[in-house]
Amino acid sequence: MVIKEAPAPPKGEAKAKSLKAKKAPKYPRKSASRRNRLDRYAIIRFPLTTESGMKKTEDSNTLVFLVDVKTNKHQIKQSVKKLYDIDRAKKKAYVQLAPDDDALDIANKIGVI
């Protein structure tokens, strides 16, 4: 049994096929970017008012907030700055205020104390 291969198309036809105009896509390959659901009010959920949180406020000029899990340090810094008009010195799980800001005054303004 002898298997015959299909004859290759002439080179002129192959070129004509490649010069054919491309079709427009039916839908875009990339979806639209999602809007950011974490505004400054969603990032900082509420201040922590436990005894240890109050001790931090009084002793080390630090406010303690519970924040959204998906946020990073930069987002928390920006939202604290916009909400309470204060600069922060450092952020670890706490917002330590700059020496010129008083944590007790800010806590009073928020309504923690």
Cβ atoms 48, 64 nearer than 8 A? yes
Task: List the helix and strand counts (H, then E) for the chain.
Answer: 5, 5
- What's the CATH code, domain 40-110? 3.30.70.330
Which parts of the chain have pLDDT scores under 70?
1-2, 4, 6-18, 90-93
- CA torsion 95→100→106→107, rounded to 10°? 60
- The predicted structure's pLDDT at residue 106: 87
- The predicted structure's pLDDT at residue 40: 85
Burial of 24 (0-12, 13-18, 19+ CB in 10 A): exposed
Domain boundaries, the chain: 40-110
Global pTM reads 0.58
How far is residue 66's CA from residue 93's CA, in Å, rounded to a whole number?
Answer: 8
